[in-house]
Structure 1
């Protein structure tokens, strides 16, 4: 522990942000790094607890406390304080394949478990993590790591989201030949198509994909493994297959949308927004928010990302409808927490976009089936040219499961704490196995599935199982 009294001497300071009214004008990342001296002080706030719950990742009373990856948080916080960022990087990469992702989009369960937060403010663990990895990339500290020899075993990973990337990275470093199959035009899965650029720049994802490619992983895009002939070829040609296709089946709308235009699911809207903004694809006007009254239904990260994306597309107005009452979201001091999207909507339109205790009862359309308004259960009619359902997911899609013959309901069936399916050499990881969850959980799942596949192929494994 470098600074014994650090938690008493220094106050928590989060990374600065560009002003909300300024950042909605573009798609650039809006968090700003801190000076090295300030970052060292934030690392020095870590108490180096005898039992560091921040890295425990333990399940208690149905809730998870700490990091599912069991990141060695006190160790690299201490290294930040002492100025040894190279050692901080080595400790960080022992447990986390992609700190540049989790350092940006993880809700930081580690900070919720921080002992320092019991009577004050938790350590800025996520910001510290991001500093370590970005400093390493910029200074050349992240280097290509190729295995000294290859095992001769071939593995296909279907899906290039965080679980698939983590499994591929682990198995590649173990010496197996790994091919990642992705149905979209670009790899990254949810990271690329489900998170807008201002939260996770696409250049950050492509930087990691390029590094993995240089280390030996092959990426094949534009191939849908849900096609029976593709699934059959993969199982015949590869020694093992890992399905990491997510849990993208949306919850049913419960509304009659037949023949209507201007109604999208949250991830569907974010995907077309990314395709237009990052990849310059032509997108139908009905899927864009520019000049329209936008209504977003739901809460959580996806709903917030939809609000923020609509603002950047130049919407006429934006309203977020939340089913539960406002009291359910109040902090201990009675205040209503607001995330980045709510701050931006307030800066643009002068008010928090959320309306609590409100549900949509029916939809109103005009000529040619274009949506014009929504009617709430309270009888209020809200103008609406684009309605976005960000109400979560009901499970994984059936098409890939059916093609490979694996059994599933909402998720693919596996034995407890196992990743093998009912089909001999087909494994599963990530949201497809555990249900919709966090990026950090997906990485943990991918790492653990890789260990099980390695043992299946080699008879033993020295890969760490995070879950």
Structure 2
């Protein structure tokens, strides 16, 4: 343990967020790393506790706590404190192939399990992880990972999001030849088109993809398996196929006025915005604009926050967020003990930006949409909302009921639906007659179809980026064992 009293001597210090009113003027990353001396000081706050809950990913109280990819967090914290950055990088990448993604976009369930939070506040694990990988790139330590031998086995990975990339990375390390199929025009899946660029700049993703290509992994874009490329052909040409297509079927909100113009799914909005920016810096106009509009974002998760941040950068007139949950307390309640993820009131980056611009938290808590209102041309003009109360029935199920006389009419010319996802799009799975729901609660990645595997959000449902990476790693191991047994190769 580097500094036994570090967690007592030093207060938590987060990454340096740019001023909200400044950062909404551009699409650059919203925060910068602390100076190296401060990072080492923050790493010294790690207690190297007897039971490091931070590095053991699990579900407690229905939420993730600890690191799903089992990062050796106390070890690399101590190495950073000592200034041994290269060994810290080597220790970090034993478990995490893409620290530059998780260090930026992960909600950090590891910090929820940090024992230091019982004293004052958790270690800034996420920021230190980000710092380690950026230091490694700066120093030239990050090299293509070219396997020493090739097995001659060919594996297709369908989807290039976090799960697909992790799967491809691991399979390539086993010596297999891997081709990743992506239906979009760019590699990255959720990383490219689902997470706005102010959280992960495209250059960060492209940098990693180049390394993977130099390591021997091939990527085919603009190819949708099941449509452009028959799945039966893929099965014949490859020894195994792993489906990492994500949970991209959006959950809809069926209320009166749903068919009015101006109502869009959040991912359609975010995808079009990012694509137009990358293609032409918005000059082609091929995106959904919030400029000068009153916007209502429906949903309470990360995607809703990303929508808020995006419409602010598009210069919206106003933005309101409907959150179905009541306003959370400022401190943990007895039914939300450590090491559960802390369900407390906080402003995420987009909400902080909205408050800075308009003077208040954009959220209406315990609120749902009751009706969409439009004009004679079928254009959205307002949303009628209603307050909601949550009742737990005798089976422990949450029942939500509207509260009488709480209706409000909120002006809106743009509504973004960010209320989650129902699972993967069904067409490809229906062609293979695969029941994805049947895999969701199991630990197997192999389907009933001989050489087909499923991983990531497509298997487990909508989840965190770190769970997607871990799913990709585990599916790769399962697939590796399958193919080497099939051709009688030594492990």
TM-score range normalised by the length of the shorter chain: over 0.9
1:8 and 1:330 map into 2 onto residues whose CA distance is 23
Deviates more, 1:451-460 or 1:117-126: 451-460
Deviation (angstroms), 1:170: 0.4
Deviation (angstroms), 1:117: 0.8
1:279 and 1:412 map into 2 onto residues whose CA distance is 40
**Is 1:407 the counterpart of 2:435 in the alignment?**
yes
Deviates more, 1:53-62 or 1:384-393: 53-62
Residues 72-127 of structure 1 show CA distances to partners (whole Å, capped at 9, x for unaligned) of 01111111011111100000000001000000011111111011111211111000
Distance 1:115 1:323, change over 3 A: same
Note the residue ranges of structure 2 that are not aligned, 5 or more in a row: 334-342, 387-405
Deviates more, 1:47-56 or 1:176-185: 47-56
3-state SS, counterpart of residue 255 of structure 1 = coil
2:478 pairs, out of 449, 452, 466, with 452
Mapped contact 1:412–1:432 kept (Cα < 8 A): no
Q: TM-score w.r.t. structure 2 length?
A: 0.90
1:85 and 1:25 map into 2 onto residues whose CA distance is 34
2:87 and 2:259 map into 1 onto residues whose CA distance is 59
Deviation (angstroms), 1:347: 1.1
1:132 and 1:462 map into 2 onto residues whose CA distance is 35
Q: Indicate the residue corresponding to 2:371 in structure 1.
A: 362
Q: Indicate the residue corresponding to 2:411 in structure 1.
A: 383
Residues 164-189 of structure 1 show CA distances to partners (whole Å, capped at 9, x for unaligned) of 00000000111100000000000111
Q: Indicate the residue corresponding to 2:316 in structure 1.
A: 315
1:41 and 1:238 map into 2 onto residues whose CA distance is 50
1:11 and 1:62 map into 2 onto residues whose CA distance is 30
Q: Indicate the residue corresponding to 1:145 in structure 2.
A: 145
1:253 and 1:243 map into 2 onto residues whose CA distance is 28
Deviates more, 1:411-420 or 1:265-274: 411-420
Mapped contact 1:18–1:31 kept (Cα < 8 A): yes
3-state SS, counterpart of residue 28 of structure 1 = coil
Deviation (angstroms), 1:458: 1.3
2:379 and 2:130 map into 1 onto residues whose CA distance is 44
Distance 1:415 1:385, change over 3 A: closer
3-state SS, counterpart of residue 157 of structure 1 = strand
1:414 and 1:356 map into 2 onto residues whose CA distance is 31
1:309 and 1:176 map into 2 onto residues whose CA distance is 40
1:25 and 1:58 map into 2 onto residues whose CA distance is 39
Mapped contact 1:451–1:461 kept (Cα < 8 A): no
Deviates more, 1:358-367 or 1:300-309: 358-367
3-state SS, counterpart of residue 230 of structure 2 = helix
3-state SS, counterpart of residue 368 of structure 1 = coil
Q: Indicate the residue corresponding to 2:33 in structure 1.
A: 33
Distance 1:399 1:32, change over 3 A: same
1:349 pairs, out of 354, 358, 363, with 358
Equivalent residues, number: 459
2:449 pairs, out of 423, 435, 440, with 423
Deviant stretches of 4+, over 6 Å? 460-463
What RMSD over aligned residues (CA atoms) do the two structures have, in Å?
A: 2.0
Q: Give 1:43-192 correspondences, 5 Å limit.
A: 43-60=43-60, 62-192=62-192
Q: Indicate the residue corresponding to 2:219 in structure 1.
A: 219
Q: Indicate the residue corresponding to 1:193 in structure 2.
A: 193
Distance 1:200 1:228, change over 3 A: closer
1:267 and 1:423 map into 2 onto residues whose CA distance is 30
**Is 1:435 the counterpart of 2:472 in the alignment?**
no
Distance 1:230 1:365, change over 3 A: same
Q: Give 1:297-316 correspondences, 5 Å limit.
A: 297-316=298-317
2:440 and 2:255 map into 1 onto residues whose CA distance is 34
1:335 and 1:74 map into 2 onto residues whose CA distance is 26
Deviates more, 1:359-368 or 1:73-82: 359-368
Deviation (angstroms), 1:368: 3.2
1:337 and 1:415 map into 2 onto residues whose CA distance is 32
Q: TM-score w.r.t. structure 1 length?
A: 0.94
Mapped contact 2:484–2:490 kept (Cα < 8 A): no
1:243 and 1:284 map into 2 onto residues whose CA distance is 30
1:62 and 1:372 map into 2 onto residues whose CA distance is 38
Distance 1:251 1:21, change over 3 A: same
Distance 1:358 1:49, change over 3 A: same
Distance 1:191 1:412, change over 3 A: farther
Deviation (angstroms), 1:367: 4.3
